[in-house]
A and B are shown apart, each in its own frame.
Chain A
Amino acid sequence: MMMADEQAAVAQAAESVPAVSGPIFVEIFLLALLFATAISMIRMRQLFSVAMLSGIYSLLSAAFFVALDAVDVAFTEAAVGAGISTVLILTGVALTAKWEMPVDRERQILPLAIVIVTGGALFYATLDMPAFGEATAPANAYVGQAYIDQTPTDIDVPNIVTAVLASYRGFDTMGEVVVVFTAGLACLLLLGVGAIRGGGRNDDGEH
């Protein structure tokens, strides 16, 4: 029942806005690869391989975001997910263990229940969402429409996103930059530049 509804919604979205979304088979293919990668990451016990697969997962989701036309999200995902967090995970692997310990069956039940409930709630929430790229959706109707109408006359910046970030929300952007700069500075001071040492060489153990 739910599957039929979802397929109908997807088909409707694909018919109404063919130009905005990528070809539907590309999205299905990317989602299938994401699923396979996630299953492999769960099944694997060697943490270095899991770190590598998480890099692949980030690249795949970045490609999926591009297919959904969310280019800025995709770029952040590629930079943070595939670049920084892979190295962070490797640092953690070097400091702790190289193999994952098996977990008891009893201790797996509660996390599984939490994940199923959360996933079910998220699926339930998507039923209320407007169709992908719908013109009457709240995100496209009120404020977005006003920005699109008024930006060319208000501000002499041709790019609307740049105008919103740098002019309409200029102080907000400055605050964000200050926060990010302070956080980076605090991290550097806490960790100490040049004092980071991993736990020696990081051999795979199989070759």
Chain B
Amino acid sequence: MFAATTLALGVAMILMLIRAVLGPTVYDRVLAVNSFGTKTVLLLGVLGFLMGRPAFLDIALLYALINFVGTIAILKFFRYGGLMTAMDDEDPIRQEGR
């Protein structure tokens, strides 16, 4: 059963990779990378059970945290052009609305 799960995750990873390569907009690619990170986390979890060492689950949890923070960093960079700018001051949409 774990082998079937690994196979399904592999197919999903291939699909994410295709979307990241083809994706017409930035958001497709960011979403593809984020989903790919999630698939990696799941693959690590399944791999731990497949190899008979479920202790890998801890590492999978840490990967999930890194994936989340990394996506936030990429999106914030993409939106504001830097990581250290305050979010409220330079919101383009709000400034356009004034």
Contact = CB atoms under 8 A, between A and B. Distances in A.
Given A36-B17, A56-B20, A63-B44, A204 B81 contact: no
Contact of A19 (B6, B21, B51): B51
A207 B26 contact: yes
A66 B29 contact: no
Contacts of A202: 77-78, 81
Interface residues of B, number: 46
B36 A206 contact: no
Main secondary structure of the interface of B (DSSP, over half): helix
A207 B81 contact: no
A202 B81 CA distance: 7
Contacts of A19: 51-52
Interface stretch (A70-78, A151-159, A166-174): A70-78
Contacts of A206: 24-25
Given A33-B13, A78-B66, A79-B66, A198 B81 contact: yes
A48 B16 CA distance: 17
Contacts of B67: 59, 82
Interface in A164-207: 193-194, 196-204, 206-207
Interface stretch (A87-95, A117-125, A132-140, A141-149): A87-95
Interface residues of A, number: 47
A196 B80 CA distance: 12
A201 to B, nearest CB: 6
21 contacts: A22-B51, A33-B14, A36-B17, A48-B29, A52-B32, A52-B33, A59-B36, A60-B40, A63-B47, A66-B59, A75-B62, A79-B66, A82-B70, A83-B66, A87-B77, A91-B82, A196-B83, A197-B85, A199-B81, A204-B25, A206-B25
